Structure 1
Amino acid sequence: MTVQLNHTIVAAHDKHTSARFLADLLGLQVSPRYGPFIPVAIPNGVTLDYMDQPGSGFAEIASQHYAFLVSEDDFDAIFGRIQAAGLTYWADPAHRIEGEINTNDGGRGVYFDDPNGHVLEILTRPYGSGITR
Structure 2
Amino acid sequence: MSVQLNHTIVHSRDNRESATFFCRVMGLEMGTEWGPFIPVDLSNGVTLDFATIPAESIVMQHYAFLVSEEEFDAVFARIQAEGLTYYADPHRARPGEINHNDGGRGVYFLDPAGHALECITRPYGGFADEASGASS
Q: Normalised by the shorter chain, which TM-score bucket?
A: over 0.9
Instruction: Calculate the TM-score normalised by the size of structure 1.
Output: 0.92
Q: How many residues align?
A: 127
Match of 2:113 among 108, 112, 116: 116
1:71 has 2:68 as partner: yes
Question: What is the Cα deviation at residue 60 of structure 1?
Answer: 4.2
Deviations 1:56-97 (A, max 9, x none): xx3241000000000000000000000000000000001000
Name the SS for the 2:60 alignment partner. coil
In structure 1, C-alpha distance between the alignment counterparts of 2:59 and 2:90, rounded to whole Å: 15
Q: Which amino acid aligns with 1:6?
A: N
Name the SS for the 1:59 alignment partner. helix
Q: How does 1:29-68 map to 2 (within 5 A)?
A: 29-53=29-53, 55=54, 58-68=55-65
Equivalent in the alignment of 1:3: 3
In structure 1, C-alpha distance between the alignment counterparts of 2:34 and 2:91, rounded to whole Å: 34
Equivalent in the alignment of 1:83: 80
Q: Which amino acid aligns with 2:89?
A: D
Question: What is the Cα deviation at residue 12 of structure 1?
Answer: 0.3
In structure 2, C-alpha distance between the alignment counterparts of 1:39 and 1:17, rounded to whole Å: 13
Question: What is the Cα deviation at residue 35 of structure 1?
Answer: 1.7
**Structure 1 outlier segments of 4+, above 6 Å:** none
Percent same amino acid among aligned pairs?
60
Gap regions ≥5 residues in structure 1: none
Task: Calculate the aligned-residue CA RMSD, in Å.
Answer: 1.0
Deviations 1:37-59 (A, max 9, x none): 00111111101100011x4xx32
Instruction: Calculate the TM-score normalised by the size of structure 2.
Output: 0.90
In structure 2, C-alpha distance between the alignment counterparts of 1:88 and 1:16, rounded to whole Å: 21
